[in-house]
Structure 1
Amino acid sequence: MNIVPRLIPFYQPDINTWSLEARLLRWLTFLWIALGLIILFSASYAVGIEDSGNGWYYFQRQFFWAVIGLILFKIIIQIPISYILKWSGWGYVACLFMIFLTVIGLGQNINGAQRWLSLGPIQIQPSELLKPFLILQGAIVFGGWKKLNWTVKGTWLGIFAFTLACILKQPNLSTTALCGMTLWLMALAGGVPYLQLMVTAMGGVLVAGLSVMVNPYQLRRITSFVDPWADARGDGYQLVQSLLAIGSGGEYGVGFGMSQQKLFYLPFQYTDFIFAVFAEEFGFIGCLLLILLLVSFTTISFLVAIRCHHPTKRLIAVGVMIILIGQSLINIGVNIGALPTTGLPFPFLSYGGSSVLSSLMLVALLIRVAIETNITEKTSV
C-alpha cells in the first residue's frame, strides 16, 4: 500500500502530468548515474583493493547511496513545491548546524580539512547536503525580493553570509565560491538591483582574496596551475598527472579499465580527478559525448526555467542548473588545467554519498518544477 498520499497533502503521482522536459531530465539523470557508476568502478578498483582488500568497495558504497538517493528522488518529484518550500527552512537549519559542528572542531579531519561528520560508520559532508536547501531558500528570498521588507532581507542575507563563512572556515573555498556564485546568479535572475549585486560581488572577491592570503596552500594551488611543470613533483604534481592521463587517452581512449594513471600515479583518482581517468579510458570522443550530455541537461533545464512563470519555481530551476552544470564544468576545468585545483566533485561521477544524495535531490526539484509548470499550462488552457 502506498502511504505517501496519507503523509503528503496534494500528492500527485500521475505520470500523465509529466512534461516532455521532465521525462527527458529523468532519463538523462539515469544515464548520468549509470555512467558515473561505470567509471567509478574502474577508477576506484585498485584503491579499493589497497584500502580494504575489496576492489568493489567504493562501487558498492556508491551504489548503496545511489539507491537511497533514487528513493528520495521518487518521493520528492511527487511532492508539491509549495509543501517542500514550507519545510525547507528546517532542512537548511539542520545542515547549517552540522556545518557549524565541523567548524568548532567536531568534524573529521581529512587531508587538513574538517568537512565531514562521522555518524558511526557513515561519513556525511554537510556542505553537500546543504545545496538543495540553499537553492530553495535562495529562491524564496530572491523570488519575492521586491515584496520583502529590509528586515527580512537583511536577516536572510546575514544567514547566507554566515553559512558561507562557516563553509570557508572548514576550509572549503571552492564550495564557498560555488554556493556564493549560485546565490548571486539567482539574485540576478530574480531581478535584484544591479548596484546591490555589484556591492555583493565586490565583497565576495575581497573575502576570497583574504582567504587566499590567510591560507598559503590556496595561493600555492593558484600559482601552481599556471605552470604545473615548474614543480612537477610538488604543488604541480596533481595537475601534471591529470594532464598525462588526459593526453594518454588520445582520440578513442586506452579502453575501459585500462587507465595507467589511476594506479597510484594520479591522486584522488576516484573523486576530484575522476574526469582525467574517464578521459584516459574513453578518449576525446568519450569526453565529447559526456559534454553533450551536460549540454543536453543544460538546454532542457533552461527550457524548464523559461516555461515557468512562477518566480520562486523559476529560480529553483535556475539554481539547480547552476549548481549541477557549474560544478561539472569547474571539475572539468580543474582536470584540464584551465582552473586552479579545487575539491569540488563531479556530480554523479565522483565518489561520495553526500554528493549523490544532494545531486539527486536537486534533479528531483527541477523535475518537480517541470511537472507543475506543465500542470499549470494544461489547467489554464
Structure 2
Amino acid sequence: MLPLDWSLWPAEARLLLTLTLIWSLAGLLILGSASWWVASREMGEGAYYLKRQVIWMLASWGLLSLAVSTDLRRWMKVAGPAVWIGCLLVAATLLFGDPVNGASRWLPIGPMQIQPSELVKPFVVLQAANLFAHWKRSGVDQKLLWLGSFGALILLILKQPNLSTAALTGLLLWLMAFSAGLRLRSLFGTALVGAALGFSSIMINEYQRLRVVSFLNPWQDPQGDGYQLVQSLLAIGSGGILGQGFGLSTQKLQYLPIQSTDFIFAVYAEEFGFIGSVMLLLFLMLVAFLGLRVALRCRSNQARLTAIGCTTLLIGQSLMNLAVASGAMPTTGLPLPMVSYGGNSLLSSLLVAGLLIRCSLESTSLVGGRRPRRQNERSNQHLAPSR
C-alpha cells in the first residue's frame, strides 16, 4: 500500500512514476518487436520472450510498490548485509555459475537463474549513500570495511569477467563520493586505480581485447570480431529520419546478434529512426532532470545521495547501452533498463526507480500524513481566538 494519497504526492514523484510506467510499457512493445521473429523460429512461439517479460514485469512492479511504501531508513539497514550477500553470490558464480560467451555471470538456483551483479546494484547505491553521508563522522575501521567490501565486489565482478558492470559500479561509487564532497585528491587517485584495473582486465582477457580492437575499426573484420557492431550500425543507419516503422526492422531477422538484450536499441533505432532516437534521449534527459530535482529537495544527506545514485544508475546504464549500440563505446554486456529482456535487470531497475520515488516522497514531510511544521503553525495561528 502506497504511503500517500495520489493528490498529496509531490510533482516530481508523480512524474517519475508516470514516466517509469511509460518506460516499462514501451519496453514491452520494443521487446515484442525485437524478439518475435527469433522466438518464432527458435522457440516455436513468437510471444515466448514477451510472456516471460510480462511475468517479471508484474513482480518488478510489486517490488517498486514495496520500495515506495517502505521507509528509506529500513532499506538502509538491510543494504549492508545485502552487499555482503551479493559478494558471496558473485563469488559463487565463479565456482558454480553457468558460463555464457566465456563469462560466468549466472548462478542456477533450482529452475531459475539469477545474475547477482545485477541484483546487488540497488543495495550498492543504498550502502554507498549510508557510508558517504557520514564520511567525516565515520571511524577509519568503518571506512576501510566498506571501501574494502566495494572493492572486493568490483574485483569479483571483474573476475567473472564482466568489465562493463564493474566499470559501471566503480563509476557509480565515484560519482556518489564526489557528490558527498570527498577530497578531490583521493577521488583522483581512486580513478587512476580503477583505470589501471580496467586496462589490466582488457589485457588479460583476450575477448575483451578483441572487442576494443573491433570497436576501433569494426569494418576491418566485418564477418568476424566486428560483425556485431557492423550489423548494429547498419540497423541504426537503415532507420533514416523517420524509421522503417514499428515491427518492420530487417536486421532483427537473425542478422543482428543479441537483438533482444544488449543491442535492442539498434532495432528501436531502425524502426523509429533518428526522430525516435532523439525522443528517447530527451526522455532520458527528463528523467535525469527530475532525479536531480529530487536530490536537491531531499532533507537528509542519505536521501540526497540515494537519489543521485539511483538517477546515475538508471540514466548512466541507459546511455552506456546506447553508446555501445552506436559504436561510441566498446561492446559490453549492459542491458537497456526496462527494455532489454531479462528478469534480473527488470527487478533491479524498477527497485531503483522505486527508491528514487521514495526519496521524493520523504522530501516533502508528508509521508504518513504528516504536514510540514510551518504549515501546522499557520493553521494553529488561524484557529487561535483573537484577543
TM-score (normalised: structure 2): 0.93
Structure 1 residues 378 and 288: alpha-carbon distance in aligned structure 2, compared to 1, 3 A threshold: farther
Superposed displacement of residue 117, structure 1: 1.2
Q: Which amino acid aligns with 1:208?
A: G
Distance 1:130 1:89 in 2: 11
Residue 205 (structure 1) aligned with residue 198 (structure 2):
no
For 1:7, the equivalent position in structure 2 comes to none
> What does 1:9-88 align with in structure 2 at a 5 Å threshold?
12-88=3-79
* 1:239/1:335 contact within 8 Å kept: yes
Distance 2:114 2:58 in 1: 16
Distance 1:14 1:85 in 2: 25
Q: Structure 2: which 5+ residue stretches go unaligned?
A: 375-387
> What does 1:56-135 align with in structure 2 at a 5 Å threshold?
56-103=47-94, 105-135=95-125
Superposed displacement of residue 72, structure 1: 1.1
Superposed displacement of residue 119, structure 1: 2.2
In structure 2, the residue corresponding to 1:43 is in which secondary structure? helix
For 1:229, the equivalent position in structure 2 comes to 219
Which stretch shows the higher mean deviation, 44-53 or 168-177? Answer: 44-53
**Match among 344, 363, 372 for residue 373 of structure 1:** 363
For 1:258, the equivalent position in structure 2 comes to 248
For 2:155, the equivalent position in structure 1 comes to 165
In structure 2, the residue corresponding to 1:262 is in which secondary structure? coil
Distance 1:206 1:95 in 2: 24
Residue 176 (structure 1) aligned with residue 169 (structure 2):
no
Distance 1:101 1:94 in 2: 10
Residue 244 (structure 1) aligned with residue 234 (structure 2):
yes
* 1:37/1:62 contact within 8 Å kept: yes
What's the Cα RMSD here? 1.4
Superposed displacement of residue 17, structure 1: 4.1
Q: Which amino acid aligns with 1:202?
A: L
Superposed displacement of residue 380, structure 1: 3.7
Superposed displacement of residue 67, structure 1: 0.3
Which stretch shows the higher mean deviation, 287-296 or 272-281? Answer: 287-296
Distance 1:16 1:369 in 2: 17
Distance 1:247 1:112 in 2: 30
**Match among 316, 329, 336 for residue 319 of structure 2:** 329
Which stretch shows the higher mean deviation, 360-369 or 12-21? Answer: 12-21
Distance 1:110 1:212 in 2: 18
Superposed displacement of residue 219, structure 1: 1.4
Distance 2:42 2:17 in 1: 34
In structure 2, the residue corresponding to 1:41 is in which secondary structure? helix
For each residue in 1:248-281, what CA deviation from the matched residue of structure 2 results, as whole angstroms up to 9, or x when unmatched? 1111111111111001100000000000000001
For 1:8, the equivalent position in structure 2 comes to none
For each residue in 1:321-354, what CA deviation from the matched residue of structure 2 results, as whole angstroms up to 9, or x when unmatched? 1111011111111111111100000001111100
For each residue in 1:88-113, what CA deviation from the matched residue of structure 2 results, as whole angstroms up to 9, or x when unmatched? 2232222222111002x211111111
* 1:17/1:375 contact within 8 Å kept: no
In structure 2, the residue corresponding to 1:123 is in which secondary structure? strand
Structure 1 residues 17 and 144: alpha-carbon distance in aligned structure 2, compared to 1, 3 A threshold: farther
For 2:293, the equivalent position in structure 1 comes to 303
Q: Which amino acid aligns with 1:379?
A: P
Distance 2:198 2:82 in 1: 27
Q: Which amino acid aligns with 2:73?
A: S
- Structure number, greater radius of gyration: 2
Distance 2:85 2:56 in 1: 20
In structure 1, the residue corresponding to 2:120 is in which secondary structure? helix
Q: Which amino acid aligns with 1:12?
A: P
**Match among 123, 130, 134 for residue 144 of structure 1:** 134
In structure 2, the residue corresponding to 1:268 is in which secondary structure? coil
Q: Which amino acid aligns with 2:69?
A: Q
In structure 1, the residue corresponding to 2:248 is in which secondary structure? coil
Distance 1:309 1:276 in 2: 41
Distance 1:250 1:240 in 2: 16
Q: Which amino acid aligns with 1:304?
A: V
For each residue in 1:151-197, what CA deviation from the matched residue of structure 2 results, as whole angstroms up to 9, or x when unmatched? 11011110000000111111100000000000000000011111111
Distance 1:12 1:36 in 2: 27
Superposed displacement of residue 378, structure 1: 4.8
For 2:378, the equivalent position in structure 1 comes to none
Superposed displacement of residue 15, structure 1: 3.4
Which stretch shows the higher mean deviation, 200-209 or 43-52? Answer: 43-52
TM-score (normalised: structure 1): 0.95
Equivalenced residue count is 371
Residue 285 (structure 1) aligned with residue 275 (structure 2):
yes
